[in-house]
């Protein structure tokens, strides 16, 4: 397939004005393909040649201004349009297109629970070409009108209000000017809950088998949606720009969600059919807030080229957390704690790998769509959001929002660049926003800030040593111990780093000096000797949860950088986590302890002891929650006890009895979790997996069974799982991921040793065959991450010279191998 280059896009944008798409889709032609007819009206500013993109099963016909074009002229995904004259033109394309099973283009899914089928589009980057013909680049916006013929009993959702006609077709109202990748269709026998807010139709939708679970949460989902909608209208002077607001929870979705104007699509795991914690509900609410922010930043004002994708994602990430914090503070008191523990770590980890890039990369670094796809990572989302939070701390929210609103006003329904964005921010302040942007958005890496206390007695001075180059506005918190050994805040002050001169401290040497107390900047934080001793002894005595989150993140960074022994981290967690009241902190610390410390950073010989410590933490949390007052904390403890079990007896008894003693009763998620761990431990078999699947034949059950089968410690099970992933192309994206999750287990390293070499042999061909989504899944989940030795690293590094590696797989391997090398260093 030919990828679109930046130069080609600029050339085509100079030649064409695209006005209108009339797209007709027929979804009644079978389970494998659908019919797609597109009529595009556009103007050529001057005579010239160009092309339109599509990826059909069969191109039946193409006409330009009534003159037939040769379908055989279609080369890969491009149909040439030569000899265009200046003026208006009409292009008509009639094609048969293939449904996707990998979440790209028009994805088709059949629900194993009831046999009902659903289709939905995901047209990001280049995938509109899998559904209809298009001049596929973000700066050729147009009006879209869709007509969809669907099977009887289906309903059709699109970007705009859609009506069913007498002939069974569904027609959508004309859209506003949209980029091609924002067009959306979701069709099937949806279960829908509809309401109206601010004079607009609102709706939430899911497949029928999930209807009871959606109905149970409908009030929460709609209340959050309305509160966010109202809060954005208080912040933004530009009103919501579309005619409706639908949210569809769709199956086998690759991303968390997609900001299609008027029809946001979410992965339907957000329709909870098993118990979840309040932190997980907060995550769902934040995704709703994130996607709604895109209605303005991304949809109303769109990037001109993919080098500015951070303008979409960083803004929506920052605004999602901040606006949820404001609009739903009674339900979610401090969303920034979860951001600091989970999202921010995602960004800083990515920023320390060889594949790092600036938040706003140089345009030359994104020459085509293939390279652009690689930048959808923790840097474009979390680091960028951290940078914007620091900008707000430095600039002030009033001036920040004034600049944002100027940006919307100047570029509404158009395209904008980083330069436009910075100019508009600068128009609202006398601060040097351009200089700030160069230092923050055009550089890579994570600065490190360390306190240094000098002087004696009551005459102390605080200096902040900076390893890095960015300016920082930080909050410094100074703590003393009281008579009960609790930590008490002596003072909080804001400092600019680098400092003009050290800051004067009043009083005796503090027990703890914490830089970045409110987590306002993006930097690693370290401690002076006294503060580190205090942290390790008294972390749970710090009164503020966000402060504790900053401290835990610092300890996490120290482990990753080889400055704190992994065992010391686990001992600190054992001492303080059972007293932690903030669920997001508990989940974040346990997640890092289990996934990284126990599985990667300690040696195989030390791993049982590490799992034992994690098990002890979870057991303490379980005891603490016996009164039933903290169901989310108890659920977290139960999950951790299951995942860290080294013997099967206890969790097997829970499965047999259908409950944990003292609660909770086992729902499907917990049952599959237990069975997967029993499979790893060799304490179950295929017959038990089949029995559980008969009990839960849902899509989630199918994924649970795939994971369990791949986890069984037999040569036959491993070979069958490998063949299903790398030989057969039958697995959907979700079943591939579930199988990969089960395959590699630290306890089974001898059994899977031969597959380390096979991964590097088989993955390139798989990625080339099945495309970027499966390439990403293979690199992320099927990679031999637990083969932590010099030989595995050498094999991986040698594989990077393979010329057949696709960009998506190459990028994932670079990241995974860097993590592997880091694990080796931490062990050393």
Q: What is the pLDDT of residues 414-444, one digit of tens each?
A: 999 999 999 999 999 999 999 999 999 999 9
At 196-221, the pLDDT tens digits run 999 999 999 999 999 999 999 999 99
Quick one: which of 758, 763, 759 has its CA closest to 805?
A: 763
Is the omega angle on the peptide bond into residue 498 within 30 degrees of 0, that is, cis?
yes
Q: Mark whether 499 and 439 lie in a shared domain.
A: no
Higher-pLDDT residue of 507, 753 = 753
Last residue of a domain, one of 559, 579, 599: 559
Give the model's pLDDT for residue 457.
83
d(CA 150, CA 127): 21
* Average pLDDT over all residues of the chain: 96
Q: Are 815 and 353 in contact (CB under 8 A)?
A: yes
pLDDT for res 374:
87
How much is the pLDDT for 472?
97
Count of all residues that appear for the chain in the document: 828
The CATH number given to whatever domain includes residue 36 is 2.60.40.1730
Nearest alpha-carbon partner for 262 in 242, 248, 239: 242
Q: Which long-range contacts (CB under 8 A, 24 or more apart) does 34-37 make?
A: 34/96, 34/97, 34/99, 34/106, 34/119, 35/94, 35/95, 35/96, 35/97, 36/93, 36/94, 36/95, 36/96, 36/97, 36/131, 36/132, 36/133, 37/92, 37/93, 37/94, 37/95
H helix intervals, 334-383:
335-338, 344-351, 369-373, 378
Burial state string for 597-630 with b = 16 or more CB within 10 A and e = fewer than 16: bbbbbbeeeebeebbebbbebbeebbebbeeeeb
Confidence tier at 485 by pLDDT (50, 70, 90): confident
Q: Are 434 and 536 contained in the same domain?
A: no
Q: 167 falls in which pLDDT band (50, 70, 90)? A: confident
Sequence-distant (6+) residues with CB within 8 A of 404 are: 236, 297, 424, 425
The domain boundary, picked from 189, 217, 249, lies at 189
Task: Please state the rounded mean pLDDT for residues 622-641.
Answer: 95
| Residue 75 scores a pLDDT above 90 | yes
Region 686-691: mean pLDDT is 98
pTM value?
A: 0.97
- Pure H helices in 236-308: 278-294
- Annotation marks residue 582 as catalytic: no
Question: Per the domain annotation, does 548 fall within a domain?
Answer: yes
Percent pLDDT > 70 in the chain is 100
457 inside domain: yes
Pair 245, 287 in one domain: yes
Stretch 281-304: mean pLDDT: 98
Strand segments, DSSP code E, in 499-592 are 503-505, 512-514, 524-525
- Look at residues 470, 315, 279 and name the one whose alpha carbon lies nearest to residue 389: 315
Query: Are residues 158 and 204 located together in one domain of the fold?
Result: no
| Residue where a domain stops, chosen among 523, 540, 559 | 559
Give CA–CA dist 188/206, Å, rounded.
9
Shared-domain flag, residues 409 and 521: no
Please write the tens of the pLDDT for every residue from 12-26: 999 999 999 999 999
- The mean per-residue pLDDT over the stretch 331-357 comes to 95
Read off the pLDDT of each residue in 251-267 and give the average, rounded to a whole number.
98
276 assigned to some structural domain: yes
Looking at the chain, the whole-number percentage of residues with pLDDT higher than 90 is 96
Q: What is the CATH number of the domain that holds 395?
A: 1.10.390.10
pLDDT at 547: 96
Confidence grade of residue 193 (pLDDT, cut at 50, 70, 90):
very high
- Answer yes or no: is 648 within a domain: no
List, in order, residues 6 or more apart from 548 with CB less than 8 Å away: 539, 540, 542, 580, 582, 585
Domain check: are 92 and 149 in the same one? yes
| Co-location of 140 and 263 in the same domain | no
**How confident is the model over 215-234, as pLDDT tens digits?**
999 999 999 999 999 999 99
The reply to whether 800 falls in a domain is yes
The pLDDT assigned to 629 comes to 87
Same domain (yes/no): 162, 238? no
What total number of domains does the chain contain?
A: 4
- Same domain? For 524 and 552 the reply is yes
Q: Is the pLDDT of residue 589 over 80?
A: yes
Of the listed 280, 291, 477, 580, which one is catalytic? Answer: 291
* Structural domain contains residue 696: no
Q: Which structural domain range is residue 72 located in?
A: 1-189
The answer to the question of residue 261 being in a domain is yes
Residues 431 and 522 reside in one and the same domain: no
**Residue 1: what pLDDT?**
65
Average pLDDT of the segment spanning 124-135: 97
Are 321 and 283 in a shared domain?
A: yes
Number of other residues whose CB lies within 10 A of the CB of residue 157: 29
For residue 482, give Cα distances in angstroms to 462, 507, 578, 580.
Answer: 22, 14, 22, 20
Exposure on the CB side of residue 713, measured as CA atoms within 13 A? 15
Do 398 and 543 lie in one domain? The reply is no
Separation of alpha carbons 138 and 742, rounded Å: 39
CA end-to-end span of the chain: 44
Instruction: Specify if 707 maps to a domain.
Output: no
Mean pLDDT of 739-746: 98
């Amino acid at each position: 397939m030919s990828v679109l280059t930046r130069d080609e896009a600029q050339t085509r944008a100079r030649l064409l004005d695209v006005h209108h798409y009339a797209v007709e889709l027929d979804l009644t032609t079978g389970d494998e393909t659908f019919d797609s007819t597109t009529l595009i009206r556009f103007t050529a500013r001057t005579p010239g040649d160009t092309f339109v993109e599509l990826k059909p099963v069969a191109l039946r016909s193409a006409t330009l201004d009534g003159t037939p074009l040769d379908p055989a002229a279609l080369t890969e995904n491009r149909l040439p349009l030569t000899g265009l004259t200046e003026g208006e033109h009409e292009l008509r394309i009639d094609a048969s297109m293939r449904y996707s099973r990998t979440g790209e283009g028009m994805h088709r899914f059949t629900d194993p629970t009831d046999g009902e089928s659903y289709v939905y589009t995901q047209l990001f980057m280049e995938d509109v070409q899998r559904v209809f013909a298009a001049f596929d680049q973000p700066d050729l916006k147009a009006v879209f009108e869709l007509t969809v013929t669907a099977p009887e009993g289906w309903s059709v959702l699109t970007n705009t209000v859609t009506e069913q006609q007498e002939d069974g077709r569904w027609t959508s109202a004309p859209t506003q000017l949209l980029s091609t990748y924002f067009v959306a269709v979701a069709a099937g026998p949806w279960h829908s809950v509809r309401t109206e807010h601010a004079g607009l139709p609102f709706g939430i939708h899911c497949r029928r088998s999930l209807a009871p679970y959606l109905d149970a949460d409908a009030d929460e989902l709609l209340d959050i949606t309305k509160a966010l909608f109202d809060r954005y209208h208080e912040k933004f002077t530009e009103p919501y720009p579309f005619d409706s607001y639908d949210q569809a929870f769709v199956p086998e979705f690759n991303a968390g969600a997609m900001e299609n104007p008027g029809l946001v699509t979410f992965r339907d795991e957000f329709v909870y059919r098993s118990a979840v914690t309040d932190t997980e509900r907060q995550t769902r609410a934040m995704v709703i807030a994130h996607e709604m922010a895109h209605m303005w930043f991304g949809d109303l004002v769109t990037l001109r080229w993919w080098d500015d994708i951070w303008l979409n994602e960083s803004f929506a990430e920052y605004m999602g957390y901040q606006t949820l914090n404001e609009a739903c503070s009674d339900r979610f008191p401090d969303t920034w704690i979860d951001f600091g523990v989970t999202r921010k770590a995602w960004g800083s980890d990515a920023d320390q790998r060889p594949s790092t890039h600036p938040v706003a990369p140089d345009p030359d670094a994104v020459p085509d769509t293939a390279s652009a796809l690689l930048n959808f990572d923790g840097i474009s989302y979390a680091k960028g959001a951290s940078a914007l939070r620091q900008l707000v701390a430095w600039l002030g929210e009033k001036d920040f929002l004034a600049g944002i609103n100027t940006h919307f006003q100047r570029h509404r329904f158009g395209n904008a660049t980083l330069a436009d964005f910075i100019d508009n921010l600068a128009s609202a302040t006398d601060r040097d926003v351009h200089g700030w942007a160069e230092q923050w958005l055009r550089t890579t890496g994570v600065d490190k800030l360390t306190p240094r206390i000098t002087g004696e007695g009551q005459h102390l001075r605080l200096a902040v040593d900076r390893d890095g180059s960015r300016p920082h506005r930080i909050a410094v918190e100074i703590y003393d111990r009281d008579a009960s050994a609790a930590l008490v805040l002596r003072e909080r002050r804001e400092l600019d780093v680098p400092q003009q001169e050290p800051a004067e401290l009043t009083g005796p040497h503090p027990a703890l000096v914490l830089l970045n107390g409110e987590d306002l900047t993006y930097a690693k934080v370290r401690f002076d000797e006294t503060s580190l001793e205090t942290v390790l002894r008294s972390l749970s005595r710090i009164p503020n949860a966000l402060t504790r989150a900053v401290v835990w993140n610092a300890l996490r960074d120290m482990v990753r950088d080889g400055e704190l022994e992994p065992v010391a981290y686990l001992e600190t967690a054992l001492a303080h986590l059972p007293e932690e009241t903030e669920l997001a902190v508990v989940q974040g610390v346990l997640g890092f302890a289990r996934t990284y410390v126990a599985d990667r950073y300690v040696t195989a010989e030390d791993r049982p002891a590490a799992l034992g410590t994690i098990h002890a933490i979870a057991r303490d949390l379980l005891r603490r929650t016996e009164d039933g007052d903290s169901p989310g904390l108890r659920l977290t403890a139960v999950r951790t006890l299951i995942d860290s079990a080294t013997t099967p007896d206890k969790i097997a008894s829970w499965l047999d009895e259908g409950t944990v003693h003292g609660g909770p009763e086992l729902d499907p998620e917990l049952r599959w979790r237990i069975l997967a761990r029993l499979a790893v431990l060799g304490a179950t078999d295929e017959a038990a997996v089949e029995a559980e699947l008969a009990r839960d034949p849902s899509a989630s059950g199918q994924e649970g069974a795939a994971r369990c089968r791949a986890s069984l410690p037999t040569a036959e099970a491993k070979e069958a799982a490998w063949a299903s992933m790398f030989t057969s192309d039958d697995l959907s994206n979700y079943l591939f991921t579930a199988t990969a999750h089960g395959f590699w287990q630290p306890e089974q390293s001898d059994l899977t040793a031969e597959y380390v070499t096979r991964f590097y042999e088989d993955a390139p061909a798989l990625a080339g065959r099945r495309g970027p989504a499966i390439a990403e899944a293979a690199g992320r989940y099927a990679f031999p991450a637990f083969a932590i030795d010099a030989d595995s690293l050498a094999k991986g590094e040698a594989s990077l010279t393979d010329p057949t590696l696709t960009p998506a797989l190459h990028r994932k391997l670079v990241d995974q191998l860097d993590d592997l090398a880091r694990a080796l260093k931490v062990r050393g």
